[in-house]
A and B are shown apart, each in its own frame.
Chain A
């Protein structure tokens, strides 16, 4: 009898088993060869985010880290001295799932200002706008509403698509995230205007705005509470083999 028309359950089961075994082998092979690149990709993602919120550094902040509660702090060193700290934390209070933020903090606890940009308001006045070192590294908020709170998207137009990276490292402005520039977390948690606070929010994305405000406050507040310890630990990890006259 031909295998094609067989009705024997044992043969059928065996056939399916063989197919499964072959596919398991193929999968094992691919899982093995993609393991290292996937890990590298993940690390690169964290490193890119760190580069955006931290001042110039010459160590690998991804290795120089310490966790306090649910916040992970990364220390940036230059010439063996601690120059900046980045805090990363996840909140579950987003509108749909987790929101992960990365905040660059100065040693005194202020949230870093990355750049000052000129902004033309509607009536033609030029105002200074501080760009804060706050970025959202992971979110799944509603496109067009919640993402407006979270995203720093640079606008590429047909006019500037070819002049490449004149300032590729600088962040695009975001009115919600930029409010935190230069702020220090005090005793009372920050609140959006709707809840009686001072943080501006986007109508239709109150929950996302609340989540972002909360997680940024948490990061800075955790830093302020344990400042001495974090600064000591992160600068203590400085590589000692440096300093041979360079």
Chain B
């Protein structure tokens, strides 16, 4: 059961393994603070929507499950948006701005609802949502921290290298986001493969993250049918 929580941190990390939610990942990680706040907002939504969807999973008609999930998710996102507007520091809300409402269409949230919460009980779904959210936050914070450090020598808006006065714009801009995310993915795969080789095995991506196990689009459905 504890695995439901920990798998989101590394083995099935939503950003670095599942490659979900790339829009906020690339857009808001220009510094560590934004990455962390976006991650926390998404975690709150994931936790609530996972629990709610798992609670109603047995009465939702199969035909309209996606619209129902979207309504549930959109409700929680709007609530989080209003709460942040009211209580979060203005600088955080200003810089995250439009990305908060966009959590609605973040694939992680709908993806976990469909792949996990619709099949498991509320408690396990809560653990799964929390784990995925923490994995997402950690990945975003690390990515943001790296970009912030490479562009201005600071971390969480605290200058670590004081003589660094002129910002280097590549890492904090969009191209840097792609370059650094790519390096992260390469590093992650390299580490996983090396670990597998040491054990004398071949590295296989975790089960359930490929198209066969997701019912969201037709491609997944058809390949599932073929298997059966």
Question: Which A residues lie at the B interface, using CB under 8 A?
Answer: 3-7, 11-12, 15-16, 19-20, 23, 26-27, 30-31, 34, 37-38, 41, 44-45, 143-145, 155-159, 161
Minimum CB distance partner of A159 in chain B = B162
Closest to B57 in A: A4
- Residues of B in contact, count (CB < 8 Å): 32
B contact residues around A158 at 8 Å (CB) = 158-160, 162
**Residue in A7, A16, A41 whose CB lies within 8 Å of B71:** A16
User: Shortest CB–CB separation between residue B101 and chain A, in angstroms?
Assistant: 13
With a 10 A CB-CB cut-off, give which of B75, B78, B87 has the most chain A CB atoms. B75
- Could you tell me the distance between the alpha carbons of A23 and B59 in the complex, rounded to whole angstroms? 17
B198 at the interface (CB under 8 A from A): no
Secondary structure dominating the interface of B: helix
Interface-forming stretch among B167-175, B181-189, B206-214? B167-175
Interface presence of B202 (CB below 8 A): no
**Assembly CA distance A21 to B173 (angstroms):** 42
The complex places the Cα of A34 from the Cα of B74 at a distance, in Å, of 17
Contacts of A6 in B (CB 8 A): 61, 63
Identify 24 residue pairs between A and B in the complex whose beta-carbon atoms are under 8 Å apart, listed by A's number.
A6-B61, A6-B63, A7-B63, A12-B61, A12-B64, A15-B60, A15-B61, A15-B64, A23-B75, A26-B75, A26-B79, A27-B78, A30-B83, A38-B82, A38-B85, A38-B86, A143-B169, A144-B172, A155-B159, A157-B158, A157-B162, A158-B159, A158-B160, A158-B162
Question: Do the beta carbons of A157 and B59 come within 8 Å of each other?
Answer: no
Cross-chain contact A144 with B59 (CB below 8 angstroms): no
**Cross-chain contact A19 with B68 (CB below 8 angstroms):** yes
Residue of B nearest to A148 (CB): B167
Interface string of B75-99 (1 = CB under 8 A from A): 1001100110111001000000000
